[in-house]
Amino acid sequence: MSAVQALILAAGAGVRMGTPKATLLVHGETLLARQVRMLRAAGVLHITAVLSAHQATAEQTAGELGILTVCNPDPARGMGSSVRCGAESLLPHPAAPLLVLPVDCAFARSADVQCLLAAMSLDLSPDTGIWRPSCDGRSGHPVLFGRALLKELSAMNALGTLRTFIQDRAANVRWVRVDNPLLHRDLDHPQDLADLPREI
């Protein structure tokens, strides 16, 4: 489990929320801290957060949490630019499976991550697989990529989306059923916070 790497995508300005989501306080902790706690509870210890150049508070939080950070110089280009920046930063390290998790997908649970990792461990082609969690016919995050896909993620269109990247590799996708009916939810507006449970 410890060999798996995780990218938390947290460079967005959080316009609809009214504040950057990485430092948004929920149940007494920031969303960034919550996601790190959730990943660590699942056994994922190598974590990198993709931030913008204007997130000094999030950078400080990441330092306190003991995780790595990488700067996306232009997050307005979209999520693809953050995935690319994050994946590029990991290329010098030994190749490992990669979990990608937007910071606002706070309904993801450690049990979901464990299900993805378990499915990967049983797969006959783990290096090129893409494992996606689903519940009641709905998909969500995080998404787990086999280690051979890291270079492709680092070269993805910065203006593109993770959804398109995955659709272009549909043959590689493995669906993993999880018991989390809130899996598809994310946090876009302040009222979404009311439904967020404390447990991870």
Between residues 193 and 167, the one the model is more confident about: 167
How does strand 5-9 pair with strand 98-102? Answer: parallel
CATH classification of the domain holding 76: 3.90.550.10
Interval 5-32: pLDDT, tens: 999 999 976 656 667 788 888 888 999 9
Interval 121-153: pLDDT, tens: 999 999 999 999 999 999 999 999 999 999 999
Residue 156 lies in a domain: yes
Task: Determine the pLDDT at residue 16.
Answer: 65
| Arithmetic mean of pLDDT over the chain | 91
Considering its fold, how many domains does the chain have in total?
A: 1
7: phi then psi, degrees, rounded to nearest 5: -110, 125
pTM exceeds cut of 0.95: no
Residue 198 lies in a domain: no
Residue 181 lies in a domain: yes
Residue 173 lies in a domain: yes
Domain of 10? 5-185
Residue 197 lies in a domain: no
Tokens linked to 92: 């010098």
**Residue ranges with strand state E in 11-119:** 25-26, 29-30, 46-51, 68-71, 98-102
189 by Cβ neighbours in 10 Å (0-12 / 13-18 / 19+) ranks as: exposed
CA distance 190 to 19: 10
Residue 194 lies in a domain: no
CA distance 79 to 134: 21
Percent of the chain whose pLDDT exceeds 90: 70
